Structure 1
Amino acid sequence: MHPSHVELIVAIADAGSLGAAARRIGKTQPALTKALKRAEEDVGVQLFYRGAHGAHMTADGARVVERCRRILRDLDALAEDLAQRRGELTGQIGVVVSPLAAMKIIPPVMARFGSRFRGVRVQIRGGHAPKAFAALHSAEADFVIGPGPSSGGEPGLIAEPLLRTGLALLTGANSRYARTTDPKILGEAPWAAIGPRGRRPYYADFLEANGIAAKEPVLLSDSILSILSVLESSDLVCSFPSLVLPEILSRWNVVQVPVEMGPTGVDIALTHARGRILTPAAMAFGDLVHEESRRLRDHNPG
């Protein structure tokens, strides 16, 4: 495929029609239609269905568009890398964070990073493994800060260990489980979990270590705000990283269930794509994440 076709294909996918894409990239529609035909001949597959209601990607087209988007992002990253090496403070970093990272790591890192790289934008969004890693594979993000890949690893990714946090169980202050000390009783509780469906909930290890079959959560959410809002006025129980308890207990009408959790915990890592060359600003951001994680480990040795 000719390099000039890359931007054209992404423009059609984003605009949804040949006419809108032509206006976006400054071409006439006949010229764009001709260029698209050449691109499809080059790759040997039809990329878009064309009709009265616009242009829609074929299955093959979706794969080509995904690869073209990555090429454009890599070109943007190259321009940012060269500009930063010339001393220009410009560009963008993408970061996907877990709740612990959002509450304990990102605020101090941003305070220090922002004072050194004022012109570099940092785009932060919440996300949970394993879906969070898709943003690294597609080059939409530079880092994921949160639970690392499973023990089997994730092809193409590098996980740099940051810290380990214990787990605590939280429930509403007026929940029937608020004073429970017997794990067996919690086997009857309704559970909530942070993250996507299909991922093993973190409370499962605790329950199974006590001879209790882990129930499927009745509430799932990627948002800890949603989870905490429901916990406040229900009997739901949810596991949270123990490092974030001071912030949560001071702001929400929830309590820690007084059971012994044992060695159950979660390893937090800084994960990035193996083949992606990080810009100087991104490397500095990663260094600050490591420094803040060391500070957290020193202040919370348990």
Structure 2
Amino acid sequence: MKLSSLQGFTAAIEAGSLRAAAERLGVSQPALTKLIRELEQEVSAKVLTRTSRGVAPTAHGLLLYEHATKIQREVGLAHARIRALSGKAHGEISVSAVPLAIVTLVPQAIRTFASEFPHVKLRVHEELYPAQLSSLRKGEVDITVGGIPSGIPRGEISVTPLLKTSMAIVTRKASPWSKATSLRQLHDAPWIYTDTKRATGYAAELFASQGMSAPPCGVVVNSTLTMLSILERVDYVALLPVQLARHPWAQMYLSQIAVVEGMLELNIGAMVGGADVRPIVRSFLVHLVRAASGGAENP
């Protein structure tokens, strides 16, 4: 199986059309069509189907895409390792991540990545609600690790799922809101938001999932430390990943509110922009994947 065929196939899926994929790869459309035809012959299955908008993967194609992206990441890592052995791996990677990833995935990924690429500088900063992916789209960061947003335009952002979490509802101990048993009882409570646009925060998503309007915003914060400090002293309500809500410090000062509607479920993933991703960034992505597969979901 040719690597060029896999690259052409994944580009077609991510771009949504053979023409766009060919332009991205710098080849002609007939040449790309030939590569995919050869790939289909090799796997004895149809992997792409034509739609009114371009092309889409078949069931066989989805399975192949999952493995093809892993193969390309590993090849990219191999190239980076070769350059590292030659003393050529330098530069800087900027990563934004939600608190859960910073506590679990990122430290392990940094440890293993730094041992392989000691001359690459890493910058990590916390981003509580990266749903708009503004930092990634502006080129301010190379990788965003957070809740995977819905409706990402195909080909614009590449997403690698890492782990799953549930967002627990929390408030300070002895708060009158701690006795609530439903979202309706919490609808008038002041909530801590983690996004400057109230309508797009996780609290708004939780209530929207039950057909309810967003609850009132008590305060907007941009760090977990700020959120926890406020929760410890003020009768506000907030959402925390269940792994953090169960931390001994959190359990000492906070109460988890169990509501009949259940918790907001989130898929956490690593997101990079487009096809022009530097090999060293792809290498760090591989280390994130390995950290997740190594049990980082349950610290």
Return the TM-score normalized by structure 1. Answer: 0.63
1:7-28, Cα deviation, whole Å (9 max, x unpaired): xxxxxxxxxxxxxxxxxxxxxx
Q: Give the distance between the partners of 1:81 and 1:273, measured in 2 at CA.
A: 22
Q: Give the distance between the partners of 1:81 and 1:108, measured in 2 at CA.
A: 18
Q: Displacement, 1:83?
A: 5.9
Aligned residue for 2:145?
Answer: 145
Q: Give the unaligned 5+ runs of structure 2.
A: 1-79
Aligned residue for 1:204?
Answer: 204
1:163-221, Cα deviation, whole Å (9 max, x unpaired): 22111001111211123224332122111112232452223344345564322422111
Q: CA 1:139–1:203 in 2, change beyond 3 Å: closer, same or farther?
A: closer
1:119-156, Cα deviation, whole Å (9 max, x unpaired): 2110111223245x333334332211112233243762
Q: Give the distance between the partners of 1:283 and 1:242, measured in 2 at CA.
A: 29
Aligned residue for 1:157?
Answer: 157
Indicate yes or no: 2:213 matched with 1:213.
yes
Give the aligned residue type for 2:104: K
Aligned residue for 2:88?
Answer: 88
Give the aligned residue type for 1:177: W
Aligned residue for 2:289?
Answer: 290
Q: Displacement, 1:275?
A: 2.8
Q: Give the distance between the partners of 2:266 and 2:82, measured in 1 at CA.
A: 38
Q: Displacement, 1:82?
A: 10
Q: Give the distance between the partners of 1:98 and 1:238, measured in 2 at CA.
A: 15
Indicate yes or no: 2:265 matched with 1:255.
no
Q: Give the distance between the partners of 1:297 and 1:117, measured in 2 at CA.
A: 22
RMSD over aligned Cα atoms: 2.9
**Greater RCO structure (CA 8 Å; 6+ sep):** 2
Aligned residue for 1:111?
Answer: 111
Q: Give the distance between the partners of 1:85 and 1:139, measured in 2 at CA.
A: 29
1:102-128, Cα deviation, whole Å (9 max, x unpaired): 122112222222222222110111223
Q: Which segment is superposed worse, 200-209 or 87-96?
A: 200-209
Equivalent residues in 2 for 1:1-302, closer than 5 Å: 84=84, 86-127=86-127, 128-130=129-131, 133-153=133-153, 156-210=156-210, 212-247=212-247, 249-250=249-250, 253-262=253-262, 264-279=264-279, 281-296=280-295, 299=298
Q: Give the distance between the partners of 1:95 and 1:252, measured in 2 at CA.
A: 31
Matched position secondary structure for 1:232: helix
Contact 2:199 2:214 in 1 (8 A): no
Give the aligned residue type for 1:145: V
Q: Give the distance between the partners of 2:139 and 2:253, measured in 1 at CA.
A: 39
Larger Rg: 1
Contact 2:171 2:237 in 1 (8 A): yes
Q: Give the distance between the partners of 1:159 and 1:220, measured in 2 at CA.
A: 27
Q: CA 1:250–1:229 in 2, change beyond 3 Å: closer, same or farther?
A: closer
Q: CA 1:258–1:164 in 2, change beyond 3 Å: closer, same or farther?
A: same
Give the aligned residue type for 1:129: P
Q: Give the distance between the partners of 2:237 and 2:107, measured in 1 at CA.
A: 28
Contact 2:163 2:297 in 1 (8 A): no
Q: Give the distance between the partners of 1:238 and 1:272, measured in 2 at CA.
A: 28
Number of residues paired by the alignment? 219
Contact 2:131 2:149 in 1 (8 A): yes
Matched position secondary structure for 1:168: strand
1:50-88, Cα deviation, whole Å (9 max, x unpaired): xxxxxxxxxxxxxxxxxxxxxxxxxxxxxx999647333
